[in-house]
Structure 1
Amino acid sequence: METLTFVSRCLLRNATKTSRFYSVCVSGKVSVNGVDLHHQLVGAGEHAVLLLPGALGSGETDFAPQLQGLDKNRFTVVTWDPRGYGCSRPPERDFPNNFFHRDAKDAVDLMQALGFKRFSLLGWSDGGITALIAAALNPKLVDKMVVWGANAYVSKEDVQIYQCEALRDVSVWSERMRRPMEQMYGVQCFQETWHNWVDGISRFIHNPNGSICVDILPLIRCPTLIIHGAKDPVVPSFHPQFLQERIRDARLHVFPDGKHNLHLRFSEEFNALVEQFLSQ
């Protein structure tokens, strides 16, 4: 499968550049760190961009407007399903204390296995945390970074949000929010994995200052765009402000009416903002 994916990527880069061709999305699995990681790839631009999904997310569930809407002439867009998520199963997902660092290593190693020497990162929510760690620990590989809905530490307020019934109990979620995950995982597996995620992310409160990756933020060297939805019910505004203060070359853009999934709700505006930043 790894060879087939590599050949497909070469064909993408050398094919006649027509809009019809760019609508094709190549998917496959690559063996990385002992796990077969599922990914999708579209476009043939010189600038490679990896999209990192949120908790339990996948390229399919989290980034459809970006796979469709980002400029395929300028960018090669890659999405991935982290180990234990989406189509990167088995294994079943677990949440050891280092699960964000493990995801960061997997993500970087996947891009290198696909042949990308340098690339940019777009990370949403948990994927934003993973992107922060990947950029901090691999400054020579990461060109630029965009994160939204991300946090570098867990506060008492965050734990209250995670543990509240409206977030923890998936049975009270709207059908629109629940259905894609239930279709991906099955009802019981989704519930169990989500509960395990809530407990896993909440445990960071026991670290000094609740840190997930606070200590390595100064290692980030790439230009960074932090995006925040002013109405995000999951990530309070002090988190993007903290990131802007700790990352040396960071700027903050706020969507006044944006919530946690602003890249889906305001996809055209989001895509245009990201394309402009990545092209500067």
Structure 2
Amino acid sequence: MNSAVIKLTKISTNKRLFMFKLSYHSQEKVEWDEGISSHRVQVGPHRLHYLRAGHGPHTLLLIPGALGFGWSNFKHQLLGFDRDFFTTIAYDPPGSGYSRPPEKTFPSYEEEAETVAQFMEALGVECASVVGYSSGGRTAMVLAALHQRLVQKLVLVSTNALVLPDEYKSCRSLDSIEETWNEKIKQIMYSVYGKENLPKLWRKFSDFNECILKEERGNICLNLLKDIKCPTQLICGQKDPLTKIENGWLLHALIENSRLVMIKSYYATKYLTTVTINLRITGKCTSHNIWH
């Protein structure tokens, strides 16, 4: 899988990569890597940060997981997608990544989805294909259900519409960040949130899941899945402790136009390259590709 991503990046770097050095929303441009630019836009009370790559006709909106942000969750996609075909936008939700201050809170997913809809309107994006990872997938599902015209196609990676007790226990087990988190991910997150602040924020996310489990019997958005009409691809890790395989099958059963891909590895090590390969347009699409 990694060789496919490297090859695609190499092809892209031979093309014009600097089409978005200027943005009508940007205070200043920051080059994160070749052809990737950093911008901010005002959406209601929020000054939201996003990364942008490519100049293609097909807009991709990438929504990260809890406390994740565009660069931490979607670096491979920003570097790897065909920039002549895609315009890729990686979004930092309010309070996440570089969309701070204020500090991260955990509002309802309906509220999160409304913010994404307003973000798209602020950028002049009338319709996009949306990739949602983990809790970002929850937001993406609600967006696709409540704002059908905004979502052309949907990819959900390691996400759920129902919090299972074992998933909550796995989430809570990560409260001790220093002892349980992968060292590389830990250092990336420390650099943004701070070593003392990150554990507090993760515990808030664990508390949020506990509230859903106790007050809603785990139901995040099951009642909305019937309203997702766009083609949907589900990617689940068979060894993912935070999103059980049962939730992948449940989404597949309840989202009408969906396809399910199982990967054998733990989600944190392989989901990025899997999504990259499944979304790329190279003329050699995989059997699970929904983009042609």
Please state which band the TM-score falls in when normalised by the shorter chain: 0.7 to 0.9
1:27 is the counterpart of 2:45: no
The TM-score with structure 2 as length reference comes to 0.83
Task: Tell me the CA shift for residue 278 of structure 1.
Answer: 4.7
Q: How does 1:47-126 map to 2 (within 5 A)?
A: 47-96=58-107, 98=108, 100-126=109-135
Q: Who is 2:279 aligned against?
A: 274
Distance 1:261 1:136, change over 3 A: farther
CA distance in 1 between counterparts of 2:225 and 2:240 reads 23
> Is the contact made by 1:229 and 1:255 (CA closer than 8 Å) also made in structure 2?
yes
1:133 is the counterpart of 2:148: no
The TM-score with structure 1 as length reference comes to 0.87
Task: Tell me the CA shift for residue 258 of structure 1.
Answer: 4.2
Distance 1:25 1:150, change over 3 A: same
5+ residue gaps, structure 1, are 9-21
Distance 1:109 1:7, change over 3 A: closer
CA distance in 2 between counterparts of 1:121 and 1:25 reads 19
Paired residue type of 2:175: R
Sequence identity, in percent? 33
Task: Tell me the CA shift for residue 30 of structure 1.
Answer: 0.7
Matched pairs, number: 257
Say which structure is richer in helix. 1
1:187-215 per-position Cα deviation (integer Å, ceiling 9, x unaligned)? 11111111111111221012343111111
5+ residue gaps, structure 2, are 1-21, 27-32
Q: Who is 1:6 aligned against?
A: 24
Aligned residue for 1:187, secondary structure, equals coil
Structure 2 counterpart of 1:176, from 176, 184, 187: 184
1:84-126 per-position Cα deviation (integer Å, ceiling 9, x unaligned)? 0111011111124x1x222211112111211111101001101
* 150-159 or 68-77, larger mean C-alpha shift: 150-159
Deviating 4+ runs (over 4 angstroms): none
Paired residue type of 1:79: A
CA distance in 1 between counterparts of 2:44 and 2:290 reads 29
CA distance in 2 between counterparts of 1:161 and 1:194 reads 12
1:25-47 per-position Cα deviation (integer Å, ceiling 9, x unaligned)? 12111111210010111101101
Q: Who is 1:201 aligned against?
A: 209
Q: Who is 1:224 aligned against?
A: 232
Aligned residue for 1:146, secondary structure, equals strand
Paired residue type of 1:215: N
Q: Who is 1:151 aligned against?
A: 160
1:164-206 per-position Cα deviation (integer Å, ceiling 9, x unaligned)? 2xx1210112322210000011111111111111111221012
> Is the contact made by 1:144 and 1:224 (CA closer than 8 Å) also made in structure 2?
yes
Structure 2 counterpart of 1:142, from 144, 151, 156: 151
Task: Tell me the CA shift for residue 68 of structure 1.
Answer: 0.1
CA distance in 2 between counterparts of 1:197 and 1:207 reads 15
